[in-house]
Amino acid sequence: MRKEYNFKNSIKNPYVKKSKKKISMNVDEDIIEYFKNEAAKVGVPYQTLMNLYLKDCADNKKKLKVAWQ
């Protein structure tokens, strides 16, 4: 074993998952129920489904239409 290693030309492992960060947020109960029902249909946890939806929004750079009433 060497005393020192040179990682200057190393590359990041492409197979490692991106890390996730735990957050706390307030979500309306009907929104949670919607995602729970949809998640049950496809067989994934509802948090995973919500994350996939948000990721799709970010990846496709969807713009929000916010209208305060």
Proportion of the chain above pLDDT 90, given as a percent: 61
Rg (CA), the chain: 20
* Stronger pLDDT, 12 or 59, i.e. the higher one: 59
Q: For residue 69, how many C-alpha atoms fall within 13 Å in the half-sphere facing its CB?
A: 1
**pLDDT, tens digit (0-9, with 9 covering 90-100), for 3-27:** 999 989 998 888 887 788 899 999 9
Which of 57 and 19 is assigned the larger pLDDT? 57
Structure tokens at 65: 């239409």
